[in-house]
């Protein structure tokens, strides 16, 4: 994602974008609006409004698809409602921040895995699988990298990737080696990595991941590539090149989307199929569907349909492994801190109660899609 995931609000304060964030008073106002507009008696032929099952999506875990969520401090350690949901409703977990470069190797050669280890331990204790996230990204890298000349940067990158993957060699299902390498204009992102190393940095990073010698599935990950377009075409060419060298296993589609503007089911499936035809597995990795604030009843109904469409596209695409949402509830979403006057993008509300979108998501995992 373009911002620093679940704790983006605090990071935005550091980067001086506080003006885009809501005050506590505004937050309370928006919370009351959400409760006011949350549908309770929608038409049966429009959206299924049954309460979620007592077992949450655990029953859906028998589905071919996994349901996943991003997790992070402090919620996973001290919010009991959050913890209950993660345990009950999701089979996969993605560390939102604690496995990134600036969290694991803040100074060169000094690795700190305590916070990421805690997430992995929680996953193991609760029989979850972990998607690792991420190494090479244009944000949240350690600043010492900027002082290195190109040969030293290559060596540091290779060492970081190998060290992280070998540390978690028995713990991760997959790892996002490179994140958001394509710019919104459809060209390679003009990032720190690109300026220092040119386009070769992507292949170099994946080769380092292969050289780590683990069985972890290696993914590339990006947003704005869920449907057809110039950015998707560039993303495809990168994946095609990496796949031809047998150093890429999977492709992540973040799916940070806007309610009512999700690509059609046909476009979603056609895009996934392009990458599957390269011999790769695919997954939706950071899904949220943001709503303009204040929300309306029709927004929530449309959002429920949109979540169902995403799950359906994956379910109807061979080698699409699952759907991860980028956070648990509205309170731990990055969206309000980054998109002014948008929010309510996840499956649980401010009080971690299931929303209409959750019911639709749950039903879609069972093969019952909201039209």
Q: What is the pLDDT of residue 140?
A: 97
Q: Is 209 helix (H, G, I), strand (E, B) or coil?
A: helix
Residue 300 has pLDDT above 70, yes or no: yes
Mind listing the domains of the chain with CATH numbers? 5-20+57-365 (3.20.20.80)
**Mean per-residue pLDDT of the chain:** 88
Find the helix packing angle between 265-276 and 230-244, rounded to 10°: 20
- Residue 168 — very low, low, confident or very high, per pLDDT cuts 50/70/90? very high
**Mean pLDDT, residues 66-80 taken together:** 94
Query: Token pair for residue 312?
Result: 């359906």
Lowest mean pLDDT among 40-44, 217-221, 316-320: 40-44
**Distance (Å, rounded) from C-alpha 144 to C-alpha 38?**
47
Lowest mean pLDDT among 5-19, 86-100, 357-371: 5-19
Assess contact for 70 and 98: CB atoms under 8 A. no
Find the helix packing angle between 297-315 and 265-276, rounded to 10°: 30
Q: Which of 273, 270, 175, 286 is nearest to 224 (CA)?
A: 286
Q: What is the pLDDT of residue 311?
A: 99
Residue 340 DSSP label: T
Assess contact for 235 and 278: CB atoms under 8 A. no
Q: What is the pLDDT of residue 62?
A: 59
Assess contact for 314 and 263: CB atoms under 8 A. no
Q: What is the pLDDT of residue 28?
A: 31
Residue 233 has pLDDT above 60, yes or no: yes
**Distance (Å, rounded) from C-alpha 357 to C-alpha 82?**
17
Q: Is 132 helix (H, G, I), strand (E, B) or coil?
A: strand
Helical H segments across the chain, by residue range: 8-14, 24-37, 75-78, 80-89, 101-104, 114-125, 150-167, 192-197, 200-211, 230-244, 265-276, 297-315, 335-338, 356-365
Q: What is the pLDDT of residue 53?
A: 39
Q: What is the pLDDT of residue 73?
A: 85
Query: Token pair for residue 251?
Result: 């492709």
Q: Alpha carbon of 72 to those of 39, 219, 328: distances in Å?
A: 30, 21, 10
Full-model pTM:
0.86
Write out the H or E segment, with its range, that includes residue 197.
Answer: helix 192-197
Residue 22 has pLDDT above 90, yes or no: no
Q: What is the pLDDT of residue 103?
A: 98
Q: What is the pLDDT of residue 347?
A: 99
**Mean pLDDT, residues 215-231 taken together:** 99
Name the residues annotated as catalytic: 180, 286
Q: What are phi and psi of 206, to 5 degrees?
A: -70, -35
* Percent of the chain surpassing pLDDT 90: 82
**Distance (Å, rounded) from C-alpha 69 to C-alpha 86?**
8
Q: What is the pLDDT of residue 56?
A: 57
From the CB of residue 185, how many other CB atoms can be counted at a distance below 10 Å? 11
Q: What is the pLDDT of residue 265?
A: 99
Residue 3 has pLDDT above 70, yes or no: no
Q: What is the pLDDT of residue 109?
A: 97
**Mean pLDDT, residues 172-197 taken together:** 98
Assess contact for 182 and 237: CB atoms under 8 A. no
**Mean pLDDT, residues 116-134 taken together:** 98
DSSP-assigned states of every residue in 31-99: HHHHHHH--SS--TTT---PPPPTTGGGGGGGSSSEEEEEE-TTHHHH-HHHHHHHHHH-SEEEESSTT
Taking only Cα atoms into account, the Rg of the chain, rounded to an integer number of angstroms, comes to 20
What's the count of helices (H) and strands (E) in the chain, helices before strands?
Answer: 14, 10
**Distance (Å, rounded) from C-alpha 36 to C-alpha 29?**
11
Assess contact for 321 and 282: CB atoms under 8 A. yes
Evaluated on CA atoms 164, 166, 167, 168, the torsion sign reads: positive
**Mean pLDDT, residues 287-295 taken together:** 98
Residue 38 has pLDDT above 70, yes or no: no
- Residue 214 — very low, low, confident or very high, per pLDDT cuts 50/70/90? very high
Q: What is the pLDDT of residue 342?
A: 98
Assess contact for 163 and 126: CB atoms under 8 A. no
Assess contact for 21 and 337: CB atoms under 8 A. yes
Residue 238 has pLDDT above 80, yes or no: yes
Question: pLDDT tens digits for 98-120?
Answer: 999 999 999 999 999 999 999 99
């Amino acid at each position: 994602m373009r911002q620093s995931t679940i704790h983006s609000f605090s990071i935005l304060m550091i980067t001086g974008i506080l003006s885009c964030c809501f005050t506590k008073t505004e937050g309370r106002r928006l919370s009351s609006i959400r409760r006011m507009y949350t549908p309770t008696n929608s038409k049966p032929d429009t959206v299924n409004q049954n309460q979620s099952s007592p077992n949450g999506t655990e029953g859906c875990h028998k589905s071919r698809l996994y349901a996943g969520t991003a997790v992070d401090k402090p919620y996973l350690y001290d919010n009991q409602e959050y913890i209950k949901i993660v345990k009950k409703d999701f089979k996969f977990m993605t560390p939102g921040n604690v496995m990134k470069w600036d969290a694991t190797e803040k100074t060169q050669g000094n690795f700190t895995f305590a916070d990421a280890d805690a997430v992995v331990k929680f996953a193991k204790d609760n029989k979850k699988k972990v998607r690792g996230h991420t190494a090479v990204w244009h944000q949240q890298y350690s600043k010492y990298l900027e002082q290195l000349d190109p040969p030293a940067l290559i060596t540091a990158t290779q060492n970081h990737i190998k060290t992280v993957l070998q540390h978690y060699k028995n713990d991760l299902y997959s790892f996002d080696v490179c994140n958001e390498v394509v710019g919104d204009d459809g060209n390679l992102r003009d990032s720190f990595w690109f300026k220092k190393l040119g386009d070769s940095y992507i292949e170099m990073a994946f080769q380092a991941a292969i050289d780590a010698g683990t069985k972890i599935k290696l993914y590339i990950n990006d947003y704005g590539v869920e449907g057809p377009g110039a950015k998707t075409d560039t993303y495809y060419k990168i994946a095609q090149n990496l796949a031809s060298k047998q150093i890429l296993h999977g492709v992540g589609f973040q799916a940070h989307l806007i309610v009512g503007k999700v690509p059609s089911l046909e476009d979603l499936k056609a895009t996934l199929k392009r990458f599957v035809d390269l011999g790769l597995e695919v997954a939706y990795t950071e899904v949220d569907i943001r709503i303009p604030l204040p929300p309306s009843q029709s927004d929530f109904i449309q959002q429920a349909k949109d979540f169902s469409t995403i799950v359906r596209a994956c379910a109807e695409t061979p080698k699409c492994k699952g759907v991860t949402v980028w956070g648990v509830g509205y309170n731990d979403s990055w969206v309000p801190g980054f998109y002014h006057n948008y929010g309510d993008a996840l499956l649980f509300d401010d009080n971690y109660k299931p929303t209409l979108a959750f019911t639709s998501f749950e039903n879609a995992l069972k093969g019952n899609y909201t039209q």
